[in-house]
A and B are shown apart, each in its own frame.
Chain A
């Protein structure tokens, strides 16, 4: 068994110095590789591919009726609805015109009577409809949004839906159940609409199924029997939305009790599953009153922000910015920004105008969307990847290629996918020279992933009828032996790269995913980062040929290849011609779709740069993002993990492969990107240059107009020099790439100087003397001396709310100001230096919301519905909150709560009410700056039992930010980087102690880093799968399974472990070697003491086996005797066993197994079993 310890071990002696970078001690780390996870009884991916190929896309149409609405809320942390505006429009099929059916206002419960009257009178005077929220939901939302099968449209729709809701809850998966004796389980029947008894049965193919004992219908969901014997439901609609939100909307007034309202359980709820901060999936929830199967309408909910981001490629945007971008007929008037202020006619007019603006944006976005001519509704477009998938679908690629394995190769398709997943690493982001001001040229690859996709000829694989996996070990070894880096400038060489290699790394420079932190706190678990390091491993690992080539370029040695698998295309699927955004017709049978997409983008870029960005996003995500796509499903489940080997485990959530899931393609593309970047670095090095940092597809090359050297002092004694090449030399290298490796014919370059290199970021103007200052990976700034910041990095600063000026307005360019102080090393003393740092939180994930669940308003709103009262007094999903960052310097060592407050509006000044998110105690934020005054304030606050919080100021944030260090690198001597380390960094030498498997990384990574959620709260999103137990461990567990529960408890095994062992959980494993040997010793001693006659004299394994044989025989005999004990009189049994009447009856009639001593006594009395004669 391998050592499972996660701690680093520095090997004492330094290994042989074969490479210049690899100095210093070797870090011994467990490496983490991605795994391809297959659930038990899950339909194999290839079977699904076959099925999808036959099916194509489901027919769906976009409704002709749309309900657009917008809400206005209060500005407190609860964000309750004040009022809303809506417009209903209908495309009349007979007259072929859009007609407006209704428009008006609805008011929330938080408004007072006079405010309602004002809105009512406004509606009357403007010929608008007025309703309360409840009326509006029942009459407008239900009728148009559900009954009429219309579309519900909004900008940031989840937020608005949470405002109009009566109640919210988190959707969970049905819990696994242990079947009853008669083989039945209880689930909610979709036909009966009630909880019903389901009878389990086994299908011919061995899978588990069930049917409702009332209606005899088989459910749509799949069942799976877990290792512990329980039955779990997988893959039904509810399960898919599990981990999301359910909003109940409708209420009715009780006839017998006017003024009292109850929920209408027979009307549909709205389910929302957030995908990321920009996109969410929506669906109407199932409900009690749904009787006719065909009547259910899942709903069409369109968030214009999501569609806008997908169509434009923007990461975020406002109603106005998207309106401008898509050319909406009406634009938002941003002059009125007093949300939550007093209701006036002007405010109501502004609000009604907002609904009109939303409607105008809807028409504008739909116009843009229709240009793409795709057979998909706009509510299913979540990102550029969705558009890319729709294009592939339109041309007839409904699924990834069908894969077959050549005869003689002992691998299944799942194993091949596992190898591909194991070789999959993300792009490379590194800081190479830190904390020195350097003159640089910032270059960027133009659509790098589509470019490497085209260069490697992966389109042929994608459109192939079949992809055959063949072994090419010897050919690959020969290729590496004769490989010269210059050959990579021939496009033909790239076509040979889609090969997966199993290698035994020996000081090869390869990407390794590991926890590189030098110091890890007790409660901190996994923080994996990928870095290119010189790695050695006794365990073979999968990499792509591109990674092997890069290692060879850097080290001069070929990696030791054990096996190489090539993916070759066979045949071609007949594809349909399509048109890209209605502008360019392409025939995918003849030309590469991605090449056409990049070229279309280049042409469009001259006329419409913003929408060209959208095509870039489509090209990037469709050429890369959809191959490793995985959807997270809630609920623990057993899986088989395929990677470097096969392991079984129970994981905390399901990973459902995306529609075009094909891990080898993903691995080839990212590895191709790393090779391209590495090749550029290598060419720069040939000219005597170095790079300052790189980030996936960009590189900052240390260079100046005339070249030279930059001298810096590494410590008091040593002065170091960094070479700087000339701009001309950089251009020479770029020309070489553009001339030889550009796969497009549109005239655009493969690699280009970024806009930041030119005056006013305009490439037609002269170049500027660009400099870079790098702190760590992804934390850098590009500037023109002395302090004109051209491109600051937003990493970790992006979530911070801007500081305020004297009038309370946000200082939008504060990040530039922040970086100015860093690059000039000036004292940090802007007027806002002592303001508190506040993080903006979007409560979109249930994990974040749960931690705010205890926050309640002091004054409740009486609505006649207790559930609604509770909902209105709490923090709602999709609220925006401000979280106070706490100082690292606290007055007392204690675990402080996270404190929150509503986000501050523009122009608003303190004081604000801070509350603790998980405690009822009031919060006191220390105001005093002076240390003695602060002490006094602390004790005063503590006296009245308050949480005392020391806020982090921007000055403190600056100190923290400046001192950040690159954990994946070491200094020139191979030692850990200190906060003041400056100059060139190098890679740490790594020896891999063991291989851990993991799945998709947490979506809450940034929230965890910023302390918004703890690692425990986000635990469900991270796991590692360790190696399975060895045979010795298996034997011990097998022996323990034969012991009774009482006996196991006497061995100091915890109740939970006892249950898992007795429950037949074959995945239960002993933690490590020491636990194993401890338990082994204990078990043998225990058996010798209590059952000396049953075991022999030999030690260890033999004794255990002897014991197991005896015990198995005894229990088998007992199984024969037990059913016939009912014929023995109770008195006789009392005499034999020596027990009470009650115990004797239990032995006779109950199914529980008596103790071993009792069994033995009975067996002695009836050695041949009991018969009717009593013998």
Chain B
């Protein structure tokens, strides 16, 4: 393995959710948000406040469900979900584990597949994060109906071309990490 590939792999590993979460748990051990008393080490920032308190409790941030890996869809406002700053922080960390598609043809079957499973994974993560933060009651409001419609539409339109079981399996794989 060449040095550049090697260092890229190390960077990717260091940015992965597991490494970030583990490091934050250690660095923020025993710390409590000085404003709201939040004691979850994953949510405390360097200034000793949680993300919600840093930005403001009523502030909502826009989370792009596909993240920066899908540059072509970055402008799609319908894929943006309003979430709390704390949730956004966790979701962004989780997105670091997702890999960018290695193809450019946005009309190809592979691209569609990866987009579908990315969306499914993003929704699964969103669900898990909101549950973790006890923000689940707002879930229905926070996910635009358009996103769901688009996802369902995508699947229905490409049903003949998509292997749905494969998509679901890959989604599970991304979310639950590699199983041996």
Contact = CB atoms under 8 A, between A and B. Distances in A.
B10 A148 contact: no
Nearest to B132: A94
B177 A61 contact: no
Summarize A's interface: helix, strand, loop or mixed.
mixed
Given A94-B128, A102-B178, A149-B27, A143 B10 contact: yes
A963 to B, nearest CB: 59
Contacts of A90: 18, 21-22, 177
Interface in A147-175: 147-150
B29 interface: yes
Given A63-B25, A95-B128, A143-B19, A100 B13 contact: no
Given A94-B128, A138-B6, A148 B19 contact: yes
A94 B125 CA distance: 9
Nearest to A300: B26
B23 interface: yes
Interface residues of B, number: 32
A103 B26 CA distance: 23
B111 to A, nearest CB: 26
Contacts of B176: 95, 97, 99
A64 interface: yes
Interface string A26-54: 00000000000000000000000000000
Contact of A253 (B3, B41, B94, B178): B3
Contact of A101 (B10, B18, B26): B18
Given A143-B13, A147-B14, A149-B27, A135 B21 contact: no
Interface in B14-52: 14, 18-23, 25-27, 29-30, 41-42
Given A61-B26, A149-B26, A135 B19 contact: no
B179 interface: yes
Contacts of B132: 93-94
Interface residues of A, number: 33
A149 B20 CA distance: 9
B9 interface: yes
A139 B19 contact: no
A64 B90 CA distance: 16
B129 interface: yes
A298 to B, nearest CB: 10
B103 interface: no
A503 B143 CA distance: 85
Contacts of A103: 180
Nearest to B40: A93
B157 interface: no
A64 B20 CA distance: 11
B1 interface: yes
Contacts of B20: 148
A149 B6 contact: no
A408 interface: no
Interface string A385-410: 00000000000000000000000000
Interface in B133-180: 176-180
A882 B129 CA distance: 57
A65 interface: yes
Contacts of A297: 26
Contacts of B26: 61, 63, 149, 297
A59 B30 contact: yes
A925 to B, nearest CB: 48
A99 B179 CA distance: 8
A103 B178 CA distance: 10
Max chain A C-beta neighbours (<10 A), residue from B30, B132, B180: B180
A965 B26 CA distance: 57
A60 interface: yes
B23 A149 contact: yes
A100 B6 contact: no
A90 B20 CA distance: 12
A150 B22 contact: yes
Contacts, number: 87
A662 interface: no
Contacts of A102: 178
Interface string A591-607: 00000000000000000
A147 B176 CA distance: 22
A138 B9 CA distance: 10
Contact of B27 (A100, A150, A294): A294
B13 A64 contact: no
Max chain B C-beta neighbours (<10 A), residue from A99, A253, A255: A99
Contacts of B29: 59-61
B25 A64 contact: yes
Contacts of B22: 63-65, 90, 148-150
A92 B29 CA distance: 17
A94 B129 contact: yes
Contacts of A128: 180
Contacts of B94: 94
Interface string A89-128: 0101111010111110000000000000000000000011
Contacts of A135: 1, 6
A149 B18 CA distance: 11
A1138 B21 CA distance: 82
A253 B4 CA distance: 12
Contacts of A144: 13, 19
A531 B3 CA distance: 67
B94 to A, nearest CB: 8
Nearest to A88: B18
Nearest to B177: A99
A139 to B, nearest CB: 5
A139 B30 contact: no
A143 B18 CA distance: 11
A610 B123 CA distance: 50
Contacts of B18: 65, 90, 92, 99, 101, 148
A142 B10 CA distance: 9
Nearest to A65: B22
Nearest to B1: A135
B11 to A, nearest CB: 10
Interface string A288-324: 0000001001000000000000000000000000000
A139 B13 contact: yes
Contacts of B19: 65, 143-144, 147-148
A547 B122 CA distance: 75
A138 B10 contact: yes
A102 B16 CA distance: 13
Nearest to B176: A99
Max chain B C-beta neighbours (<10 A), residue from A60, A94, A139, A147: A94
A435 to B, nearest CB: 61
Contacts of B23: 147-149
Nearest to A104: B180
A90 B125 CA distance: 17
Nearest to A150: B22
Contact of B178 (A65, A93, A100, A255): A100
A139 B11 CA distance: 9
A60 B20 CA distance: 18
A934 B166 CA distance: 79
Contact of A149 (B10, B25, B131, B178): B25
Nearest to B41: A61
Contacts of A59: 29-30
8 contacts: A94-B131, A99-B18, A103-B180, A135-B1, A135-B6, A138-B6, A143-B10, A149-B22
The 6 lowest CB-CB distance pairs between A and B, nearest first, are A149-B26, A59-B30, A65-B22, A148-B19, A148-B22, A90-B18
Interface of B: 1, 3, 6, 9-10, 13-14, 18-23, 25-27, 29-30, 41-42, 90, 94, 125, 128-129, 131-132, 176-180
Interface of A: 59-61, 63-65, 90, 92-95, 97, 99-103, 127-128, 135, 138-139, 142-144, 147-150, 253, 255, 294, 297
Given A59-B30, A139-B10, 16 more contacts: A59-B29, A61-B26, A61-B30, A63-B22, A63-B25, A64-B25, A90-B18, A94-B129, A99-B18, A139-B9, A143-B10, A143-B19, A148-B14, A148-B20, A149-B25, A297-B26
